[in-house]
Amino acid sequence: MSISRVGIVGAGQMGNGIAHVFALAGYDVLLNDISAEALTRGLETIRRNLARQASRGKITEEQMNAALNHISTTEKLADLGQCDLIIEAATERETIKQAIFEDLLPHLKPETILASNTSSISITRLASRTDRPEKFMGVHFMNPVPVMELVELIRGIATDEQTFNTLKEVVLKLGKVPTSAEDFPAFIVNRILMPMINEAIYTLYEGVGSVEGIDTSMKLGAHHPMGPLELADFIGLDTCLAIMNVLHEGLADTKYRPCPLLTKYVEAGWYGRKTGRGFYDYRGDKPVPTR
């Protein structure tokens, strides 16, 4: 299978990062979102991140301009129908993802491969709602996409070998490292990472340590580049809660129960960096712990 034109659904944090790396690798990218404002913000983020790479000598100015020329945008999902590969990077809610794929189906070429950037949801279940489960896979990029080297490739029960090999080659062309994960809740990275973050929140909830104490302990005591609460704010507490709920429901083990404090922060709309408040308050000159 030859992949040259790639459609991406969602111009948010993950979607614009995926568009960035595909365009930089020479693919023609059609970026879709439901609003012109979201597309404008997504393109601006891509421009800013490409310019940062150019200023640091990681890419040339010619490569930056070429990448930008490879990206076009649309508010119409149907316009993605002629793409060779479509990657869904919408909100981590299964009903939203299912609706996107159902709306895409009437417009697709027979050979188009469908993929989801889901960080936790069953690929087999998402694929079963389409007309091409054999051409459906999970392609989970890490955040921030232009920086992080790993991509998890997740086969559903029906995914054929040709689709897997095609997407593995695509990931290698992007300059990323593919790893194969089985279709179990949260796959590899988040199966390990999210319970650690959840345990850090329990440690805060039970008063074992403060926000700063927990993050400093893990940075200096375990050489983590970011503390777990700082990392949770970076990922988005709503996303962390969604993944913990998938783990808890999918594996039926109490060790995956989301911490009540995580739930409370999400109910308050304190999702982390993207809303200005989470375990830290980002509205001032420097982040300040909220507990």
- Residues with active-site annotation: 119, 140, 152, 190
Whose CA is closest to 24, among 73, 58, 56? 58
Buried b (16+ CB within 10 A) or exposed e, 79-104: ebbebbbbbbbbebebeebbebbeeb
Query: In the numeric block, which tokens belong to residue 52?
Result: 């940062």
CA distance 134 to 160: 5
97 contacts 88 by C-beta, under 8 angstroms: yes
CA distance 231 to 253: 24
Q: Where are the alpha helices (DSSP H) in the chain?
A: 13-24, 36-55, 61-69, 94-104, 123-128, 161-173, 189-205, 211-221, 228-235, 237-251, 260-267
CA distance 172 to 70: 19
CA distance 226 to 62: 33
Query: In the numeric block, which tokens belong to residue 249?
Result: 């429901």
